[in-house]
Amino acid sequence: MKVGVITFPGSLDDVDARRAARVAGHEAVAVWHGDDTLSGVDAVILPGGFSYGDYLRCGAIARFAPVMAAVVDAAKGGMPVLGICNGFQILCESHLLPGALIRNDHRKFGCLDQRLVIENDRTAWTSSYDAGQEVTIVLKNGEGSFVADERTLDMLEAEGRVVARYVGNPNGSQRAIAGVTNEAGNVVGLMPHPEHAIEDLCGPGTDGLGFFTSLGAAGLLSA
Amino acid sequence: MPDARTALKLDTVSLATDDPGREQPWADLGLKADEYARIREILGRRPTSSELAMYSVMWSEHCSYKSSKVHLKQFSEIPQETPVGKMLAGIGENAGVIDVGQGYAVTFKVESHNHPSYVEPYQGAATGVGGIVRDILAMGARPVAVMDPLRFGPLDAEDTHRVLPGIVAGVGGYGNCLGLPNIGGEAVFDESYVGNPLVNALCVGVLRHEDLHLAKASGAGNLVVLYGARTGGDGIGGVSVLASETFDADGPAKRPSVQVGDPFMEKLLIECTLELFASGVVAGIQDLGGAGLSCATSELASAGDGGMQVELDRVPLRDSTLAPEEILMSESQERMMAVVEPGDVDAFMAICAKWDVEAVVVGEVTDSGRLEITWHGETIVDVPPRTVAHEGPTYQRPFARPDWQDALQADAAEALARPTSGDDLRATVLRLAASPNLCDKSWITDQYDRYVLGNTVLAQPSDSGMIRIDEETNLGVAVSTDCNGRFAKLDPYAGAQLALAESYRNVATGGAKPLAISDCLNFGSPEDPAVMWQFAEACRGLKDACLELGIPVTGGNVSLYNQTGETAILPTPVVAVLGVIQDVTKRTPTGFQRSGEQLFLLGTTREELSGSEWASVVHGHLGGRPPIVDLGAEQALATLLADGVGLLTSAHDLSDGGLSQTLVEACLRNGVGATVALPGDPFVELFSESAGRVVVTVAADDAVRLTELALEHGVPVTHLGATGGDTLVVEGQFEVGIDELREVWSATLPAVFA
């Protein structure tokens, strides 16, 4: 598939996300935040970083980026969209995903090799995993604590929309939620960074690769 | 427009000529009487207030190296080539550049930001990272990694609690936001750093040979562009003296002299600058750091054709009330100055606009040989730029071996009471592992992103940080920074060499070939002959060691006046060594990988306990002579480690805490235990800090190959035992569980800062 990775001026992990898409066998293209269209891509990744500096609430400005109108339209049309870290924050700010990410409960930036349990293996980005599978992926952020009101949390649980949950709770996320999906399962937000876990040489193993190989797996979106 | 009050008092060159007798605050700006006299002699008149401001900051210790340069000069005597090629740029440029093969070059440099970090820990540390990154960027390189050697007062000191969390958060906050992996560094605690923490910052950058850019303004008619952040009142420092002369009492308050960083702007500046380089629209470039526009304009002009004309009122300001003297001195961060050919200006501006980076043509290169700066049409600076940038004063500071040095060296730690039983040794191993200098530093390093860019092959707590620079060929570089200030206090010549040797060894343990050094020389007051002697000895030690090892000094930084009252810090010549590795996939890891491997010690253990971590932690003692330096042995060891790539399954350097700490760390890395039998006095074997030693493991059937390799390189080799189990066993002495080790090792920092 042709995977577009959006580069905001403060994006940091865009190069890594493109590499991960390539390693998973896709064609990766850079999409500029100021563009009005997604130039014919089949899926979109919003990478980690600090979009526009994020001195305001993380992602609050990025949701108004010219390219985001196209992302929102595409997401509503069923295109697979993955927001990683800052990308997750932007998807929440854009109301493509419920909830919000606030400052870690320990008040510090944290960079860890984090264990997660994949709970939903039916999304566009997790079909390569089995539900209940434990993986180790890099977690690195200052504002990664997932919050939502109780009713939303109950709904996410009831509808199976918690995509991944932390083993332990490194940042005070409600119900240890590390990632969620939308109702259709095409939009996924994930606080940890699977793109940093795609090769043994430069990360904690290859557990993250499944997010990228899931993309385009047969029959997925009709499921 | 300046307000009427400022305009009224604008000091111009013509006013300086008409009113030669005006009293000037040169002493308050840190100039000496003879320096002020020399400025008058150079100009043939009194300086304007703007000229005075420029000379005062450019002739400061920080910018002019006036106390240190007579000693630094000897680094130029070292051949400007590395073991694999020539240096592409050396001392005097923003950072040295070395050839690492395959058409790649690497630039790296370590710098200090000590005093600002004491005043304002977060911003001081953050802008320290920002400054070194711009130095690397200015060479035409993409910054690819940072490291930060830090020194603090004792862990339980109040001052440490004030500065450490902010410094760590500042290093992380800035570097993380730039997307640069932090791959190593140091965190060292010692009484002498109370009230004077050391924040050194290192950056590594990578470029293709043809992309090298130098800081010079050549070609009369070329335009001078200032781009990046707007200029504000931050970081003005001593120039507030001028401002208070210029303004009435109801004028703006004196502003903080610590700069405030904006890492997002720096990220934009990096990407924008790299795109400018790639587009070929940069004829010369200089970052703005210490001394701001004063430095950038005078250095660019001085290194080029010698002339520049600048319209200072064109500089975009954050604060419209700033006086010209303040604009010249401001150390506002995230600014760069480029020299651009007139035909390229439109393309230059378009790239800046793409990245939302403000850019303004502020002047042009001339062949007048003068740096002329105007303010709304009036000339406020007219100087020969070399006299500002390169011909500052040089001091021959008196230096003398202090009278206490003999007594210090006579007080050897070898005479101190030692643990006598196996139980005592066990308790000492645990006590050292939990001590502030040897304990787990992940409370600090977990606040840094070590994964971004996806090329981090090794990061702390490995001996060195290693970065892949080519994904196809797997070419990589490794960097380490080290310094044991206690050794340098006992003998600054040997101590500087030991710092170099340790850093060299740490690069070698990963499998890389050491190529070059950069140094950050942190010392007390140069006005104290004892400190000046320490500095002179350390420089001499580094030069001699570089000559013997065949590696150059590519650049670095000097930080003096690191002292509180009469007490100087431990002399701390931090040495960064950079090495190259042809295939990072074959790097040697630091920790034990699996059970059943054979464990060896390479190198010679002597009874060397003076200055050791044991003497410090257990006895609070510092005295005696540091370990012997044998650079020939270090070189042989490093060659063995490079040749042993593929054979060695792990390699870990011995330094602070000796064999004891090396075994502890190697066991804890992957939870693999070990059983060792010590050939000599178990206390000496465990806690001596003899240099030139590494613990290695090999697969069980490779033991003979290793001993043959050691023989071939003339490196003493001792079989210690084997890996395996979940305990560390010293036969006949004690056994300690890995869980217990991990518990005490990892509890220290969280207990204090959690």
Average pLDDT over chain B reads: 93
Q: What is the average per-residue pLDDT within B186-199? A: 96
Taking only the tens place, the pLDDT of each residue in B530-575 is: 999 999 999 999 999 999 999 999 999 999 999 988 899 999 999 9
Contacts of A50 in chain B (CB under 8 A): 177, 263-264, 267
A196 tagged catalytic:
no
> Which tokens belong to B565?
């009252």
Instruction: Say how far apart CA B307 and CA B365 lie, in whole Å.
Output: 6
Which residue of chain B has the CA closest to A54? B264
Instruction: Determine, for residues A9 and B446 on separate chains, whether the beta-carbon distance falls below 8 Å.
Output: no
Instruction: Give the active site residue among B71, B113, B213, B621.
Output: B113
**Could you tell me which of B602, B693, B714 has the C-alpha nearest to residue B647?**
B602
Contacts of A171 in chain B (CB under 8 A): none
pLDDT of B202 strictly over 50: yes
Which residue of chain B has the CA closest to A106? B754
pLDDT of B254 strictly over 50: no
Instruction: Say how far apart CA B534 and CA B663 lie, in whole Å.
Output: 33
- pLDDT at position A200: 94
Contacts of B593 in chain A (CB under 8 A): none
Instruction: Determine, for residues A9 and B355 on separate chains, whether the beta-carbon distance falls below 8 Å.
Output: yes
The lowest-confidence range among B1-10, B96-105, B157-166 is B1-10
Taking CA atoms, B383 is separated from A98, B29, B43, B66, B681, in Å, by 63, 19, 7, 20, 68
A111 tagged catalytic:
no
Residue B710 domain-assigned (yes or no): no
Read out DSSP for A60-111?
TTGGGSHHHHHHHHHHHTT--EEEETHHHHHHHHTTSSSSEEE--TT-S-EE
Residue B242 domain-assigned (yes or no): yes
pLDDT of B389 strictly over 70: yes
CB B363 within 8 A of CB B310: yes
At B667, is the pLDDT very low, low, confident or very high (cuts 50, 70, 90)? very high
- Tell me the shortest Cα–Cα distance from B77 to chain A, in angstroms: 39
Instruction: Determine, for residues A195 and B454 on separate chains, whether the beta-carbon distance falls below 8 Å.
Output: yes
pLDDT of B2 strictly over 50: no
> Does the predicted interface ipTM exceed a cut of 0.90?
yes
Contacts of A208 in chain B (CB under 8 A): none
Contacts of B457 in chain A (CB under 8 A): 201-202
Taking only the tens place, the pLDDT of each residue in B353-363 is: 999 999 999 99
Residue B605 domain-assigned (yes or no): no
The lowest-confidence range among A146-155, B29-38, B239-248 is B239-248
Residue A146 domain-assigned (yes or no): yes
Among A9, A53, A111, beta carbon nearest to B450: A111
- pLDDT at position B242: 53
Question: Which CATH number covers residue B375?
Answer: 3.90.650.10
- Tell me the shortest Cα–Cα distance from A151 to chain B, in angstroms: 33
Contacts of B677 (CB under 8 A, 6+ apart): B720, B721, B730, B731, B732
- pLDDT at position A168: 95
Residue written as token pair 């562009």:
B225
- Tell me the shortest Cα–Cα distance from A125 to chain B, in angstroms: 21
DSSP class of residue B703?
A: H
Q: What is the average per-residue pLDDT within B45-56? A: 95
Among A9, A16, A202, beta carbon nearest to B468: A202
Contacts of A196 in chain B (CB under 8 A): 451-452, 454
Confirm or reject contact between B629 and chain A (CB < 8 A): no
Q: Pairing mode, if any, of strands A81-84 and A187-190? A: parallel
Instruction: Determine, for residues B179 and A108 on separate chains, whether the beta-carbon distance falls below 8 Å.
Output: no
Contacts of B125 in chain A (CB under 8 A): none
Taking only the tens place, the pLDDT of each residue in B319-352 is: 999 999 999 999 899 999 999 999 999 999 999 9
**C-beta atoms surrounding B208 within 10 Å:** 12
Residue B327 domain-assigned (yes or no): yes
Structural domains in chain B (count): 1
Taking CA atoms, A148 is separated from A58, A145, A161, A186, B377, in Å, by 16, 10, 13, 20, 60
> Which tokens belong to B206?
């990578």
- Tell me the shortest Cα–Cα distance from A187 to chain B, in angstroms: 24
Give chain A's contact residues with B (Cβ, < 8 Å): 9-10, 12-13, 15-16, 19, 48-50, 52-55, 108-112, 138, 140, 142, 193, 195-196, 201-203
Residue A222 domain-assigned (yes or no): no
Which residue of chain A has the CA closest to B175? A12
Q: B346 lies in which domain range? A: 4-68+214-389
At B290, is the pLDDT very low, low, confident or very high (cuts 50, 70, 90)? confident
Instruction: Determine, for residues A196 and B451 on separate chains, whether the beta-carbon distance falls below 8 Å.
Output: yes
A195 tagged catalytic:
yes
Instruction: Determine, for residues A12 and B179 on separate chains, whether the beta-carbon distance falls below 8 Å.
Output: yes
Instruction: Determine, for residues A10 and B451 on separate chains, whether the beta-carbon distance falls below 8 Å.
Output: no
Instruction: Determine, for residues B169 and A108 on separate chains, whether the beta-carbon distance falls below 8 Å.
Output: yes
pLDDT of B218 strictly over 90: no
**Could you tell me which of B656, B638, B658, B657 has the C-alpha nearest to residue B648?**
B638
Taking only the tens place, the pLDDT of each residue in B613-650 is: 999 999 999 999 999 999 999 999 999 999 999 999 99
- Print pLDDT tens along chain A (223 aa): 999 999 999 999 999 999 999 999 999 999 999 999 998 999 999 999 999 999 999 999 999 999 999 999 999 999 999 999 999 999 999 999 999 999 999 999 999 999 999 999 999 999 999 999 999 999 999 999 999 999 999 999 999 999 999 999 999 999 999 999 999 999 999 999 999 999 999 999 999 999 999 998 744 443 3
Report yes or no on whether pTM surpasses 0.80.
yes
Confirm or reject contact between B142 and chain A (CB < 8 A): no
Which residue of chain A has the CA closest to B585? A201
Among B177, B178, B451, beta carbon nearest to A203: B451
DSSP class of residue A47?
A: -
Confirm or reject contact between B356 and chain A (CB < 8 A): yes
- Tell me the shortest Cα–Cα distance from A28 to chain B, in angstroms: 16
Residue A220 domain-assigned (yes or no): no
CB B125 within 8 A of CB B118: no
Q: A71 lies in which domain range? A: 2-213
Among B355, B448, B452, beta carbon nearest to A12: B452
Structural domains in chain A (count): 1
Which of B133, B164, B177 to substitute to test the interface with A, most A CBs within 10 Å? Answer: B177
Taking only the tens place, the pLDDT of each residue in B496-527 is: 999 999 999 999 999 999 999 999 999 999 99
Instruction: Give the active site residue among A26, A85, A92, A196.
Output: A85
Instruction: Say how far apart CA B317 and CA A82 lie, in whole Å.
Output: 40
At B248, is the pLDDT very low, low, confident or very high (cuts 50, 70, 90)? very low
- pLDDT at position B137: 94
**C-beta atoms surrounding A183 within 10 Å:** 10
Among B173, B178, B268, beta carbon nearest to A9: B268
- Tell me the shortest Cα–Cα distance from A195 to chain B, in angstroms: 8
Contacts of B453 in chain A (CB under 8 A): 15-16
Residue A169 domain-assigned (yes or no): yes
Question: Which CATH number covers residue A75?
Answer: 3.40.50.880
Taking CA atoms, B293 is separated from B55, B57, B165, B231, B373, in Å, by 12, 11, 32, 10, 11
pLDDT of B211 strictly over 90: no
Residue B375 domain-assigned (yes or no): yes
Which residues of B401-470 form beta strands (DSSP E)?
A: 456-458, 465-468
- pLDDT at position B257: 65
Instruction: Say how far apart CA B195 and CA B119 lie, in whole Å.
Output: 10
Read out DSSP for B587-610?
PPPSS--STT-EEEEES------T
Contacts of A16 in chain B (CB under 8 A): 452-454
At B237, is the pLDDT very low, low, confident or very high (cuts 50, 70, 90)? low
Instruction: Determine, for residues B451 and A138 on separate chains, whether the beta-carbon distance falls below 8 Å.
Output: yes
Which of B129, B178, B266, B452 to substitute to test the interface with A, most A CBs within 10 Å? Answer: B452
Size of interface A-B (CB pairs under 8 A): 81
Which H or E element spans position B354?
A: helix B345-354
At B256, is the pLDDT very low, low, confident or very high (cuts 50, 70, 90)? low
- Tell me the shortest Cα–Cα distance from A16 to chain B, in angstroms: 6
pLDDT of B303 strictly over 60: yes
**Could you tell me which of B476, B486, B428 has the C-alpha nearest to residue B618?**
B428
- Tell me the shortest Cα–Cα distance from A148 to chain B, in angstroms: 26
Residue A221 domain-assigned (yes or no): no
Among A109, A138, A195, beta carbon nearest to B447: A109
Which residues of B248-295 form beta strands (DSSP E)?
A: 284-287
Which of A7, A103, A109 to substitute to test the interface with B, most B CBs within 10 Å? Answer: A109
Instruction: Say how far apart CA B716 and CA B710 lie, in whole Å.
Output: 7
Instruction: Say how far apart CA B659 and CA B667 lie, in whole Å.
Output: 12
Instruction: Give the active site residue among A33, A119, A143, A193.
Output: A193
Percentage of chain B surpassing pLDDT 70?
A: 96
Helices (runs of H) and strands (runs of E) counted in chain A? 5, 11
- Tell me the shortest Cα–Cα distance from A188 to chain B, in angstroms: 21
Percentage of chain B surpassing pLDDT 90?
A: 87
Confirm or reject contact between B122 and chain A (CB < 8 A): no
CB B722 within 8 A of CB B712: no
Instruction: Say how far apart CA B247 and CA B294 lie, in whole Å.
Output: 21
User: Helix B158-178 and helix B121-137: axis angle, to 10°?
Assistant: 40
Tell which wins on pLDDT, B273 or B306.
B273
CA-based angle B359:B365:B368, to the nearest 5? 150
- Tell me the shortest Cα–Cα distance from B267 to chain A, in angstroms: 7
> Which tokens belong to B207?
């470029």
Residue A48 domain-assigned (yes or no): yes
CB B259 within 8 A of CB B332: yes
Residue A171 domain-assigned (yes or no): yes
pLDDT of B728 strictly over 90: yes
Instruction: Determine, for residues B452 and A13 on separate chains, whether the beta-carbon distance falls below 8 Å.
Output: yes
